[in-house]
Homo-oligomer: A and B are copies of this chain.
């Protein structure tokens, strides 16, 4: 019998599953479509079948599993192991996923939100390796986060800590989807960066993005960074504001949990050095001068595998 840990990244589109040894070395992985519209029972059966197949391909069986970790987007009650509801999986309402999965697999199941799990993955095996204090950001449609203090994930009193996209950086500023005004998410997520560019074009700012907007009817964050590369002045201003907002977020988080490293992840980091260099530049300008800060600001290293690796680390109760 081997000491196998299973990591599951449950999303609205795909279920990703990884099989790990007790050193958290990835032995094999796979992804299947979630089929969320079939409802939780069938999705959970599909998860179990996927795990069985993955194990059998490696001449292993369910009995080789020590424990299983799973990450999903919230809202969920992670301590009780219940998905309360899910934007991408409308049939998931008050689903006791931990218990259901644990009953099928006859193994303990650990459960946390997708951002915490990806944070844990980067902490254990990726860009956060070697530090004890780290802050992790996901830059996608919104901005999510994860915090590790002295080697432990910060959950908060009700599992809603690290909602880092909703730190207010510009009071009375842009309205955020959450109802607050001036959240960093309303400025610096991929969605908001694209939205700010489209608004500026519509209000008459000269830009090479104008033609694109007219043709496609929308602008993506990727478009903005591409036009920046081609020298567009509006794209420069918009991406500059994104970098400054993220730098403000880093300054504030440094004064709260004082991480040794900030790790940015999510689709938007495809923008590359221009994004990272911008954040670093503004961080240097905005941070206090009382002492020299040595915090590192970097991109995530694990890509799409962060979720399954973090879920396996969760299973292994590393944090």
Interface of A with B (CB < 8 Å)? Answer: 131-133, 147, 149-150, 152, 154-164, 166-171, 176, 178-181, 248, 251-253, 255-260, 286-291, 295
Contact = CB atoms under 8 A, between A and B. Distances in A.
Given A168-B169, A168-B248, A170-B171, A178 B288 contact: yes
Contacts of A163: 255, 258
A156 B161 CA distance: 17
Contact of A171 (B155, B169, B176): B169
Contacts of A161: 149, 255-258
B289 A178 contact: yes
A255 B158 contact: no
- Copies of this chain: 2
Q: Sort A-B residue pairs by CB-CB distance and give the 8 closest, nearest first.
A: A156-B258, A179-B289, A178-B288, A161-B258, A157-B260, A133-B157, A163-B255, A166-B255
A180 B149 contact: no
A67 B36 CA distance: 58
Contacts of A289: 178-179
Contacts of A147: 256-257
Nearest to A290: B178
Looking at chain A's contact residues, the main secondary structure is loop
A149 B259 CA distance: 15
Contact of A180 (B166, B169, B286): B286
Nearest to A177: B290
Contacts of A252: 167-168, 252
Nearest to A152: B150
A290 B132 contact: no
Given A154-B149, A170-B171, A171-B170, A180 B287 contact: yes
Nearest to A173: B171
Given A166-B255, A166-B288, A167-B255, 20 more contacts: A132-B157, A133-B157, A147-B257, A149-B149, A149-B152, A150-B154, A156-B259, A157-B258, A160-B258, A161-B257, A162-B256, A163-B255, A169-B171, A170-B171, A171-B248, A171-B286, A178-B289, A179-B289, A252-B252, A253-B256
Nearest to A176: B288
A166 B255 CA distance: 7
Contacts of A158: 258
27 contacts: A131-B157, A133-B156, A133-B157, A147-B257, A149-B161, A156-B257, A156-B259, A157-B259, A161-B255, A162-B256, A163-B258, A164-B255, A164-B256, A166-B255, A167-B255, A168-B169, A168-B251, A168-B252, A168-B286, A176-B288, A178-B290, A179-B289, A180-B287, A180-B288, A181-B286, A252-B252, A256-B256
